[in-house]
């Protein structure tokens, strides 16, 4: 929670800058219906629905557009590893994390007019029947909750046993199948965060891309090539959860080292999955120009420690720095 209880300034029934922004009443109503439910009763899908199937996207893209309510939209993609022990993360987000993230963004204002898209990550190389699902860019928590519930979340599927997940899929999607007014109109990059506990995959094959997206390129594409492409229009981060079974069994270095080779300082380590929203909000604050020490000290207790450790390696260059209007 925000230090000094700043979040209490968000009064019941008050909307932010228009009806298409985060609404506390809507969030409280929606989240209260989820609080006592199990993951299986929240996520009831048993196959990939057309609405979140990337091969069935309208015009083959997802759009983040300005509007009267959101004149300076900022796109944020959050990709969730939903295999094995990581399947707890979507449940945390729908019950608590999503509301906390929006509260922190609207209280701290590191970015303008956030539009968030969730996607789920599996393992196409291990014949996962649901290797990648993708929602819509939304500015309202209730719409995001409705969208999250369309995902097929089944931790029993495991991670395929090949030592990685296909984390490259959301980055490939962001680089090739998104259209954002933030970049088109203002040359301002969006933010993409993936969250998981395993090393990255090395590449995507034409067959994997066809299975997920419905078209087949001529050759493999390496994860490094994908990152080079996505960095043109997105600030890219991966959050490694130390609580994950892979990190606990294999050690942090096995996961962190390959991610650091791909993303450098933007490979982030988080020790507590219940602080994911605070870590994401803090990264956005650092990119808005605030010092790491000020950001970390703005949180109370254990949250301050988790955040300080997570953002300790971040530095923002003039090329990457995000200007808030």
The answer to whether 263 touches 79, Cβ cutoff 8 Å, is no
**Range of weakest confidence among 28-32, 124-128, 149-153, 303-307:** 28-32
> How many helices (H) and strands (E) in the chain?
14, 10
pTM of the model: 0.89
Between 189 and 39, name the one with better pLDDT.
189
Residue 116 within any structural domain of the chain: yes
Q: Which two tokens stand for residue 213?
A: 């997206």
Residue 4 has pLDDT above 70, yes or no: no
Q: Please enumerate in sequence order all residues whose Cβ is within 8 A of that of 153, keeping only pairs 6 or more positions apart, or say none.
A: 39, 43, 45, 82, 87, 90, 91, 120
Q: Please enumerate in sequence order all residues whose Cβ is within 8 A of that of 261, keeping only pairs 6 or more positions apart, or say none.
A: none
Residue 238 within any structural domain of the chain: yes
- The string of pLDDT tens digits covering residues 163-209 is 788 999 999 999 999 999 999 999 999 999 999 999 999 999 999 99
Residue 316 within any structural domain of the chain: no
Determine the average pLDDT of the residues in 287-311: 96
Q: Which two tokens stand for residue 275?
A: 């602080």
- The string of pLDDT tens digits covering residues 59-113 is 899 999 999 989 999 999 999 998 877 878 888 888 888 888 888 888 899 999 9
The answer to whether 299 touches 307, Cβ cutoff 8 Å, is yes
Helices (H), the chain: 24-32, 39-42, 88-92, 98-108, 141-148, 168-176, 181-186, 206-213, 223-230, 245-250, 252-263, 276-287, 292-297, 301-310
CA dihedral in degrees (131, 135, 141, 143; nearest 10)? Answer: -130
Residue 291 within any structural domain of the chain: yes
Residue 7 within any structural domain of the chain: no
Element (DSSP H or E) covering residue 194: strand 190-196
Residue 2 within any structural domain of the chain: no
Residue 16 within any structural domain of the chain: yes
For 187-223, b/e burial (b = at least 16 CB within 10 A) is: ebbbbbbbbbbbbbbebbeeebbebbbeeeeeeebeb
The answer to whether 147 touches 118, Cβ cutoff 8 Å, is yes
Residue 64 within any structural domain of the chain: no
Q: For the domain that residue 215 is a member of, what is the CATH number?
A: 3.40.50.410
- The string of pLDDT tens digits covering residues 219-270 is 999 999 999 999 999 999 999 999 988 899 999 999 999 999 999 999 999 9
> Residue 13: which pLDDT band, with cuts at 50, 70 and 90?
very low
The pLDDT of residue 160 is 55
Report the domain count for the chain: 1
Give the closest residue to 55 by CA, choosing from 158, 111, 124.
124
Residue 156 has pLDDT above 80, yes or no: no
Full residue range of the structural domain in which residue 247 is found:
12-32+71-310
Give the closest residue to 28 by CA, choosing from 102, 79, 116, 109.
102
CA 119-237-231 angle, 5° bins:
95
């Amino acid at each position: 929670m925000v230090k000094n209880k700043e979040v209490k300034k968000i009064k019941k029934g008050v909307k932010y800058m228009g009806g298409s922004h985060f609404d506390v009443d809507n969030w409280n109503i929606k989240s209260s219906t989820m609080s006592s439910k199990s993951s299986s009763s929240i996520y009831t899908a048993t196959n990939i629905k057309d609405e979140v199937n990337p091969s069935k996207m309208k015009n083959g893209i997802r759009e983040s557009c300005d509007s009267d309510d959101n004149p300076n939209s900022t796109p944020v993609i959050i990709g969730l590893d939903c295999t094995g022990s990581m399947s707890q993360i979507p449940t945390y987000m729908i019950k608590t994390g999503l509301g906390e993230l929006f509260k922190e963004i609207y209280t701290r204002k590191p970015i303008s007019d956030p539009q968030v898209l969730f996607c789920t990550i599996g393992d196409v190389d291990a014949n996962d029947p649901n290797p990648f699902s993708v929602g819509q860019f939304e500015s309202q928590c209730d719409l995001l909750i409705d969208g999250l519930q369309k995902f097929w979340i089944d931790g029993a599927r495991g991670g395929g046993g090949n030592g990685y997940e296909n984390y490259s899929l959301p980055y490939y999607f962001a680089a090739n199948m998104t259209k954002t007014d933030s970049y088109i109109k203002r040359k301002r990059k969006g933010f993409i965060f993936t969250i998981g506990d395993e090393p990255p995959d090395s590449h995507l094959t034409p067959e994997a891309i066809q299975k997920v997206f419905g078209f087949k390129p001529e050759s493999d594409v390496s994860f490094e090539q994908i990152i080079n492409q996505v960095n043109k229009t997105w600030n890219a981060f991966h959050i490694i959860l130390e609580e994950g079974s892979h990190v606990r069994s294999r050690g942090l270095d096995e996961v962190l080292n390959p991610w650091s080779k791909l993303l450098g300082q933007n490979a982030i380590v988080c020790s507590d999955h219940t602080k994911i929203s605070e870590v994401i909000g803090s990264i956005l604050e650092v990119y808005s120009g605030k010092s790491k020490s000020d950001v970390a000290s703005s949180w109370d207790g254990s949250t301050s420690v988790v955040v300080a450790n997570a953002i300790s390696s971040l530095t923002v260059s003039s090329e990457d720095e995000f200007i808030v209007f």
